[in-house]
Amino acid sequence: MLYLCTNFNQPCNMKRITSILLFIALVVNIAASPAKKVFVNKDMHIVPSLEQGIGYLKLSRQPDHLDAKLYDKKDRLLANLCLQTLTPDTCVYIGWQQYFFFNELKDAYRYEDNQPVEHISYRAGKPIFHLPLQDGDTIWMLAGAIVFPDESQEYGIVQSIDARGIKLNRYRKSNDELFADNCYGKIQYGDLQYKGIQTFYKNGKRYKLENYNAIGKKIEELYVDTLGKVTVRATIVEGRISEKNYFYPDGHLCASKSMTDGEWQTRYFLPDGTPTDSVTLDDESADDEIHNVVEQMPAFPGGQQALFAFLSKNVHYPPKAQQMGLQGRVILSFTVDKDGSIADIIVLRSVHKLLDDEAMRVVRSMPKWRPGKQNGKPVRVRYTIPLSFCFD
């Protein structure tokens, strides 16, 4: 709901009288002129001057509705609204409402009975995702993130939508092979949230399960054999593996690994439960699997401080972006491959194409990382990094 006036349920005072007079003047001016500026604050309440607000609405009367364009103090278009009614304390939306960020269309909502019924997300001015979803809809993805079809390496098909979540089967684009059966609590552009049990397949057979809590945090990871018996169970706390247990085919504990003071401590057991010095542990992961969490996460050469220094030295604020006053944080995701090279760079949160492109350029220029490891072996790991652009 977009509120355009102050609350008139307060006791009568000079502020209330001023607000009423302001609204009456507003209605008269809209009727008398083709366009009228109205200053608003962050709560979209009308204020007497631009200095007291965050921007202004430019209103114009149409035969069957009222157009309202919202601008910030630098005259940048923030929203293009279509109103049915403007009253002293609220406005009623009809049709499409378009929202902009630094003059670039980001989202469009269609309203009926003042409720949003349709939502289109845009990237670089082009539609990339549409809500509401329906059974059979296709979502183009790269490493689990929504992208344009020509950027994708996989696609998901909506199987069902109910109170339990959104069921999505994911396929590899190269051969249409099913590799995951996922349940999401939320699917929006830039915001996909797993819910409950996620199932992954290799050569058509289930081999891994992931368990997510109600807020989309992974809490458990299990690998299973061809008979469905658990071979490895990992407990995950705050995005890191805290404990990992390995099992014999008959279900008895084979080995238990736990993190103590930053070091992995491992205990081994024979099939009868007797402690022993060592046991050979099978590598449970698929060769081409991209992990989100591993025992040893990938790292930039020299560590986090070296990464920050590299970014500080190599990120260059595009001059055109500075002229346009563009600021914000771009969030990128990429894969650190087994040899430490960077691949599959995607934008998870966009600010503007100028800043997005600069962030991707810098990430592409990074040297090879120290690869992540699982059971002492290099594996592919998905990594997320934010890059902030702001004026000093």
Show Cβ contacts of residue 162 under 8 Å, excluding neighbours closer than 6 positions.
none
Cα gap 266→256, rounded to integer Å: 6
CB 350 within 8 A of CB 329: no
C-alpha to C-alpha distances, 145 to 65, 135, 154, 160, 348, nearest whole angstrom: 38, 19, 10, 19, 7
Q: Give the pLDDT score at 109.
A: 96
CB 294 within 8 A of CB 280: no
Cα gap 227→242, rounded to integer Å: 27
Other beta carbons within 10 angstroms of residue 180's beta carbon come to 18
Per-residue pLDDT band at 89 (split at 50, 70, 90) = low
Q: Which residues of 131-161 are buried (b: 16+ CB within 10 A; e: fewer)?
A: beeeeebebbbbbbbbbeeeebebbbebeeb
pLDDT for 296-355, tens place per residue?
899 999 999 999 999 999 999 999 988 888 888 899 999 999 999 999 898 888 888 899
Domains of the chain and any CATH numbers: 14-126 (no CATH), 134-288 (3.90.930), 304-389 (3.30.2420.10)
The three-state secondary structure class of 314 is: helix
- Percentage of the residues of the chain whose pLDDT score is greater than 90: 45
pLDDT for 230-251, tens place per residue?
999 999 998 888 899 999 988 8
Q: Which residue has the tokens 């260059």?
A: 316
pLDDT at residue 199 greater than cutoff 90: yes
Cα gap 299→6, rounded to integer Å: 52
Tell me how many degrees the CA angle 336-350-81 measures, rounded to the nearest 5. Answer: 160
Lookup: tokens for 320: 């055109």
pLDDT for 9-56, tens place per residue?
333 343 443 444 444 445 444 443 445 788 888 776 778 888 888 888
Mean pLDDT of the chain, nearest integer: 84
Per-residue pLDDT band at 213 (split at 50, 70, 90) = very high
Show Cβ contacts of residue 148 under 8 Å, excluding neighbours closer than 6 positions.
123, 126, 128, 140
pLDDT for 99-140, tens place per residue?
988 778 999 999 998 899 999 999 888 999 999 999 999 999
pLDDT for 71-87, tens place per residue?
988 888 889 989 887 66
* Selected residue with higher pLDDT from 223 and 42: 223
Q: Environment class of residue 22 by beta-carbon count within 10 Å: exposed (0-12), middle (13-18) or buried (19+)?
A: middle
C-alpha to C-alpha distances, 150 to 104, 125, 157, 361, nearest whole angstrom: 21, 16, 17, 19
Cα gap 62→54, rounded to integer Å: 26
Q: Which residues of 41-67 are buried (b: 16+ CB within 10 A; e: fewer)?
A: eeebbbbeeeeebbbbbbbebeeebbe
CB 322 within 8 A of CB 337: no
Element (H, E) at 293: none
Lookup: tokens for 54: 């965050």
